[in-house]
Amino acid sequence: MPLSPKESGKLIAELSKHVQINSEGIKELGNKIVQRANQGKVSVHNFSQNGIHPKSWNPNALDWLFVVDTLNFCFWHVDGEVKWKVDNQSGYFALCAAINRAVKEGIDILNPNYYSTITKEQLQHVLRSDTKTKLQLLDERVECLHSSGLSLIENFEGSFRNCVEQAENSAVQLLELIVKNFKCFQDEAIYQGHVVSLYKRAQILVGDVWACFKGKGLGRFDDIDEMTMFPDYRIPQTLLFFNVFEYSDELMNLLRAEMPLKNGSEMEVEIRGCSIHAVTLLTEYVKQRVKPDRKVNAILLDHFLWDYRRNHSNQINHKNLPFHKTFCIFY
């Protein structure tokens, strides 16, 4: 059995060769987050995705989240390349726009009976771009939909809602159900002889359910604080910007040369694992200093840091702070 994401992050941070966590950076960024949290700006009500995600009253909300998070990976592009865009959105927001467009066009994209047998050509049409750039890893996306759709039919009567209900208001149980039943969410690696888990997409799916229902009803998870941040390629860039991270010269040179890191490689696992532990440390720091009525957890900090990167991309790029690039289905 792999270590949990939180345990994995701690272990990886202790053994890491190429990524170091700066305690002074934790304090400086932590103080900024405390200030924003006390102003009400670190909240589930402020997520940038709120405008494009379905509302809790939508009967298809859970199945929409499941399909989107099944496809939620590998949106990066090389600097200077034309972006993959849908409705003038890029990255994750373009994916959401594409699924919403398909629903409006009457494509049965939220039904596992449809997407468990979807063809490459059909998915290519669903994900068609406003530009000439196609979304990468299309074959892998087809396979993710096939395997997830079949498991949903076989194990949960064709609805992700049944999976959520089986978890009985436990984020940890829901995470375990997702990882056990849907192989494309099994984001694990071997690091220095230890089996570790990162579970980016599985945890973000839990977090999306929690956020959609604002922690109530189907989205009430009594142990939501057990989730970590979602280790991707953008939040490490924000942590680098705030001097929470320090990279070795070898790693920084590779990233600046835009050399992709292999999924599961030492450097890649260190970036992701140290991201988990750094945000865990940030969460603990902020919790001890915010007003008693302010809720703080790793999911809220993840969204704050992810949105910060989007809103301050020019500043981050100006400092020539690269992000790592990896071809894989896990983020």
Report if residue 43 sits inside a domain: yes
Q: What's the first-to-final CA gap in the chain, in angstroms? A: 22
pLDDT tens readout for residues 48-98: 887 889 999 999 999 999 999 999 999 998 777 889 999 999 999 999 999
Q: Look at residue 133 in the predicted model and tell me its pLDDT.
A: 93
State yes or no: pLDDT of 275 exceeds 90.
Answer: yes
Spatial distance between the Cα atoms of 304 and 86, rounded to a whole number of angstroms: 24
In a domain, 166, yes or no: yes
Residue among 231, 225, 139 nearest 188 (CA)? 231
**Mean pLDDT estimate for the chain:** 96
329 is a domain residue: no
- Whether 166 shows a pLDDT value over 90: the answer reads yes
| Residue 247, beta-bridge partner list | 19
Give yes or no for a contact between 133 and 77, defined as CB atoms under 8 angstroms apart. yes
Burial of 107 (0-12, 13-18, 19+ CB in 10 A): middle
Q: Enter the pTM of the model.
A: 0.95
Q: d(Cα 157, Cα 63) in Å, to the nearest integer? A: 12
What torsion do the CA atoms of 325, 140, 101, 216 make, to the nearest 10 degrees?
A: -80
Please compute the mean of the pLDDT values over residues 132-141 and round it to a whole number: 96
From the candidates 69, 208, 232, 302, give the one annotated as an active-site residue.
Answer: 232
Which range (35-49, 111-125, 155-169, 278-292) has the least confidence? 35-49
Nearest to 72 by CA among 200, 187, 173, 178: 200
Say how many domains are in the chain.
1
Asked if the structure places residue 325 within a domain, the reply is: no
Mean pLDDT of 178-190: 98
Kindly give, in sequence order, each residue whose CB lies less than 8 Å from that of residue 97, ignoring residues fewer than 6 positions away: 52, 86, 87, 89
Give yes or no for a contact between 35 and 296, defined as CB atoms under 8 angstroms apart.
no
46 assigned to some structural domain = yes
Tokens 């990279």 correspond to: 247
> Mind listing the pLDDT tens digit for each residue in 242-262?
999 999 999 999 999 999 999
Give the per-residue pLDDT at 96. Answer: 97
**Cβ atoms of 232 and 202 closer than 8 Å:** no
CB atoms within 10 A of CB 196: 25
What pLDDT is attached to residue 128? Answer: 97
- Is 275 among the domain residues? yes
133 assigned to some structural domain:
yes
User: Does the annotation count 232 as an active-site position?
Assistant: yes
CA distances 259 to 178, 208, 254, Å, are 32, 31, 5
- 326 is a domain residue: no
Q: Are residues 9 and 277 in contact, defined by beta-carbon separation less than 8 angstroms?
A: yes
pLDDT top residue among 1 and 66 = 66
Among 27, 136, 30, 23, residue whose Cα is nearest residue 76? 136
311: phi > 0 → left, psi -120 to 50 → alpha, else beta; which? Answer: alpha
Structural domain boundaries enclosing 232: 5-318
Closest to 86 measured CA to CA, from 134, 130, 49: 130
